[in-house]
Amino acid sequence: LCTSGNCASFPQVLSLLIPTQLQRVTHLALHRLFHTRSCLFVVLHVALQAAVFGEYTWEVFGYCWELQFHLLLLLLPYLLLAGNVGCFLLCSRANPGIITKSNAASLVKVYAYDGVLFQRGLVCPTCSVEKPARSKHCSVCRTCVHRFDHHCVWVNNCIGASNAGLFLLYLLSLTATAAALTAITAALLCQLLLLSHALHGTSRGAQGQERPVGIALLVQHLFMTFPRIVFMLGFVILLTLVLGGYCSFSLYLALTNQTTNEWCKSRSGAAPHLPAQPHHGQPGYKNIYSKGIWRNLKEIFQPPTALERKKK
């Protein structure tokens, strides 16, 4: 692969090994999946929830009921699921804040241009409208969105000024649902271990000596006895950790009045007028949109209008 000191790159090697037609199909499939609106991730989202709650209802709920867990505790995941589905439907169907020729002039007056991430007088080449501060053109939805945060494939919609609050509620309820399922399922397995007296068992080492049962053997015992429940627990634990991290990040953005788009641009140097970073590693960009924690949080659920900004 190396001739005259020049080595072929890995993508070039793959292009030689993979047929051109297959490359074309793969490229089109990936482009359609991630660069056009698709219900595939929505279907996957619903399928995962149905699988988890099916197992919870079929086995976990039944065992917990026999062990006399409190009924309200067992119904908590269903209540959280109902709230999550409601937020999901509202967020996915809501207008995120699409900028049109009729409302562009009024939206330009909502936020000031910071002169760093957002410049006055720029026109979107696709939509042919002046871009308000904090807006961005979404290549997936093919529209400009006011206070653009990101495009979420799971709700198949952009997250912008008009549905950012719904998205935050959706994320919080989803995280709470996963955490509730984790806690109840873990409590059930711990109770089953206590009833089986497995915690007081012993195992023989390589030289025949007896020793207390370790965590690995207990997990193996549970997996052999209740494989579906253990597998579900592992999945919801992972989901809780991932969602918890993302939820914390989203709350941080909400409390500091930033969008994901702004946070990424201010740290990646994507903005052409971003000042050089000073010493000690502190970013040179200053967020002019933050008004304090409570007012920032209020703005997520009650987006400001041009009239409100004029009054202030």
Q: Is 65 left (phi over 0), alpha (psi -120 to 50) or beta?
A: alpha
- How many CB atoms lie under 10 A from the CB of residue 217? 13
What is the spatial distance between Cα 284 and Cα 62, in angstroms, rounded to a whole number? Answer: 57
Active site (catalytic) residues = 152
CA contacts within 13 A on the Cβ side of 265: 21
What is the spatial distance between Cα 77 and Cα 294, in angstroms, rounded to a whole number? Answer: 29
- Judging by beta carbons within 10 Å of its beta carbon (0-12, 13-18, 19+), is residue 273 exposed, middle or buried? exposed
Do residues 140 and 35 lie in contact, with contact meaning Cβ atoms separated by under 8 Å? yes
What type of residue is 205? G
- Cβ burial 84-111 (10 Å sphere, 16+ → b, else e): bbebbebbbebebbbbeeeebeebbebb
